[in-house]
Amino acid sequence: MNRDQWHSKLGFILAAAGSAIGLGAVWKLPYVTGTSGGGAFFIVFLLFTILLGTSLLLAEFVIGRRTQKPPIEAYKELAPRSSWHLVGILGIFSSCLLLSFYAVVGGWILTYFIRSLTGGLTNPPDGDYSTLFQSIISNHWEVGAAHLVFILLTILIVQKGIQKGIERASTIMMPALFLIFAVLVVRSVTLEGAMEGIRFFLQPDLSSLDGGTILFALGQAFFSLSLGVSIMVTYSSYLSKKESLVRSAFSIVGLSIFIAFLAGLAIFPGVFAFGLEPSQGPGLIFAVLPAVFSEIAFGSVFFSLFLLLLLFATLTSAFSLLEIVVSSASYQRPERRRKAAWLGGIAIFLLGIPSNLSYGVLSDWLIFGDTFFNQVDFLVSNILLPLGAFLIAVFVSWGLKPSTLQDELLRGSSLSTGFFRVWLFFLRYITPAAILAAFLDVLGVW
C-alpha cells in the first residue's frame, strides 16, 4: 500500500510546529500564567518543555517513524499481544475531546476576525473590551455558526491528505504567523508602562508555586507541544526514514518556545499598560489585544491580520487533532479518508456544543463547581495529557529494545550514543517520576 508522505523535512517540521503552536501558546499560556502568578510559572513551564517535552516528543517520533503506522496499529506492531494499543485509543479519545472545545475557541477567533473587518469591535462603551468579549461569546447563533465554520475548514483541509492538504497549508500559514507576531511585540513592549508587564511575565516570584501550579505547568508543556495523545506518533509516521528525528524535534521545540515568549511579550505589557487584570482567565487576549492594537497606527488593519494568523495557528493544530482520527479510521482503506474526515469532524462538532453553550445558556450548569467547558479542558489538559505522556514514556523506555530505540533515534544524525543514553534516562526515570509527583501532590498525598 502506498501511504502518503511529507514532501520535505521542512514541510514536516512546519506541520508539526503548526500542531504544537496554537491556542496553547497564544491564548492559554498567557492566561494561565496570569492566574498562576506570572514569571515563576513561565520558568517552570520552560523547564518542563525543554527537558521533558523534548524527550517525549522524540519518544512519540520513534514510535511513529519506526512503524509508519497510525497509533493503534503502531503500538500493536511494537508490542503484539499486549494492552499497549489502549494508549493509542486513549490518544484518539483525548484528541476528540480536545478538538471539541478547541474548535469553540477557534470559532471565537473567527468571529473576532469577521467583526474586525466589519467594524464590530471598535470603540466599545467605556473602552471596555472585556464586557464586549462576554457579550460576543454569549451570542449563540453567531459563535455557534463560527464554531461550525471552523470545523468545516478543518475537515476541508484534512480530507485532502498529508501533502496536498496539511503540509501545503502549514508552509504558508506558519511563516506568516512569525512575521506579524514580531510587529505586535515591538508595539507592545514600547507602550507606556510596558515594563511592569514584562516584569510580571519574566521575573519569577517563587512563592507563587505549589503542586497545583506545577501540575498546570506540566500539563501546559505537554499541551503546547501536542504531546501525550499520540498526535506526534501520527505525524512522524508519514516521515521518510532518511530524516533526522533529533534535529526536527529541536526545531519544533525551539519554534514553540519562541512563540510562547513572543505571546507573553505581546500580551503582558498591554495588560499592565491598560490597567487590566492578568488573572481574568480565558478572555484575556480578547480583552487585551484589541486595546493594544487600538494604539497602533492602522491598528485595525493589523488586528485583522493578527486574527487571521491566529486563526491559521489554531487551524494547523486542529488539523492534527482531526488527522489522528482520520488516519486511524482510514488506515486499511485509504479511499475512506474523506468520509472519515466528514464523519469525525461532525461528531466532534456535536460534542463541542455544550462547551460552546457554557458561556451562555449553560453558564449555570456546573459540574463539580465549574462549567462544562472548563471541566473538559481540565480533564484533557491536566489529566489525560499527562497520563498519556506517562504511559508513552514508560512504553518506549521500558517496553522497547534499547538497540531498536537507538537505531531509530540516531538515524540520519551525527549524535553520539551519549545523547541516546541521556534521553533514555530521562524517559525511564525523570519524566514518569515528575508526572507522578505532580499527580500525587494534587491528590494531596504530601
Q: How far apart are CA 370 and CA 295, in angstroms?
A: 36
Give the DSSP letter of residue 236.
H
Asked if residue 22 binds ligand PHE (CB under 6 A), the reply is yes
The verdict on 321 binding ligand PHE (CB under 6 A) reads yes
Structural contact between residues 215 and 440, judged by C-beta atoms closer than 8 angstroms: no
DSSP 81: T
Choice between 233 and 271, CB closer to ligand PHE: 233
Among the residue ranges 154-162, 224-232, 245-253, 343-351, the one whose residues contact ligand PHE (CB under 6 A): 224-232
- CA 46 to CA 43: how far, in whole Å? 5
How far apart (Å, rounded) are the C-alpha atoms in residues 318 and 102? 8
Judged by CB, which is closer to ligand PHE: 95, or 397?
95
Shortest CA distance to 50 belongs to which of 230, 236, 260? 260
Q: Does 231 bind ligand PHE (CB under 6 A)?
A: yes
Q: Does 19 bind ligand PHE (CB under 6 A)?
A: yes
By CB under 6 A, which span of 23-31, 143-151, 167-175, 386-394 interacts with ligand PHE? 23-31
CB of 53 or CB of 290, closer to ligand PHE: 53
In whole angstroms, the minimum distance from the beta carbon of 221 to ligand PHE comes to: 10
Residue 317 or 356: the one with the smaller Cβ distance to ligand PHE is 317
The rounded distance, in Å, linking the Cα atoms of 248 and 19 is 14
Using rule CB under 6 A, residue 224 touches ligand PHE: yes
Question: Applying CB under 6 A, does 320 fall inside the site for ligand PHE?
Answer: yes
* String of DSSP letters for 317-336: HHHHHHHHHHHHHTSS-GGG
Q: How many other C-beta atoms can be found within 10 angstroms of the C-beta atom of residue 135? A: 10
**Cβ 273 to ligand PHE shortest distance, Å:** 26
Q: Which is nearer to ligand PHE, 57 or 121 (CB)?
A: 57
Closest CA to 93 of 301, 291, 385, 407: 385
CB of 261 to ligand PHE, least distance (A): 14
Least Cβ distance, residue 54 to ligand PHE (angstroms)? 15
User: CB under 6 A: which stretch of 22-30, 106-114, 154-162, 297-305 binds ligand PHE?
Assistant: 22-30
Report the C-alpha gap between 245 and 412 in whole angstroms.
8
* Interface segment toward ligand PHE; rule CB under 6 A; list 135-143, 154-162, 222-230, 330-338: 222-230
To ligand PHE, the closest distance from the beta carbon of 317 in angstroms equals 4
226 touching ligand PHE, by CB under 6 A:
yes
Q: Which of 84, 223, 312, 359 binds ligand PHE (CB under 6 A)?
A: 223
Q: CB nearer to ligand PHE: give 151 or 191.
A: 151
Which residues neighbour 236 within 8 Å (Cβ) at sequence distance 6 or greater? 12, 16, 60, 61, 63, 64, 65, 245
Q: How far apart are CA 327 and CA 393, in angstroms?
A: 23
Nearest-CB residue for ligand PHE = 24
Q: Between residue 53 and residue 112, which ones bind ligand PHE under the rule CB under 6 A?
A: 98
Window 25 to 44, contacts with ligand PHE (CB under 6 A): 25
Q: How far is the CB of 272 from ligand PHE (least distance, A)?
A: 25
Tell me the window of 220-228, 362-370, 396-404, 405-413 that interacts with ligand PHE (CB under 6 A). Answer: 220-228
Find the part of the chain contacting ligand PHE (CB under 6 A) among 15-23, 234-242, 282-290, 337-345. Answer: 15-23
Residue with cell 449555570: 364
**Under rule CB under 6 A, how many of the chain's residues touch ligand PHE?**
15
Amino acid letter, residue 422 = V
Task: Provide φ and ψ at 146, rounded to 5°.
Answer: -65, -40
Among the listed residues 435, 366, 391, 337, the one whose alpha carbon sits nearest the alpha carbon of residue 94? 391
- Determine phi and psi for 138, rounding to 5 degrees: -95, 5
Cell triple for residue 237?
509516521
The answer to whether residue 24 forms part of the interface with ligand PHE (CB under 6 A) is yes
**Which of the ranges 40-48, 209-217, 314-322, 350-358 carries the binding residues for ligand PHE, by CB under 6 A?**
314-322
What whole-number distance in Å separates Cα of residue 134 and Cα of residue 282?
Answer: 11
Considering the rule CB under 6 A, would residue 20 count as an interface residue with ligand PHE?
yes
Residue 141, Cβ density class (10 Å: 0-12 exposed, 13-18 middle, ≥19 buried): exposed
Could you tell me how far CA 419 lies from the centroid of its own chain? 27
Among 14, 16, 17, 23, binds ligand PHE (CB under 6 A): 23
207 C-beta neighbours (distance < 10 Å), count: 8
Q: Is 328 in the site for ligand PHE (CB under 6 A)?
A: no
Binding site for ligand PHE (CB under 6 A): 19-20, 22-25, 98, 223-224, 226, 229, 231, 317, 320-321
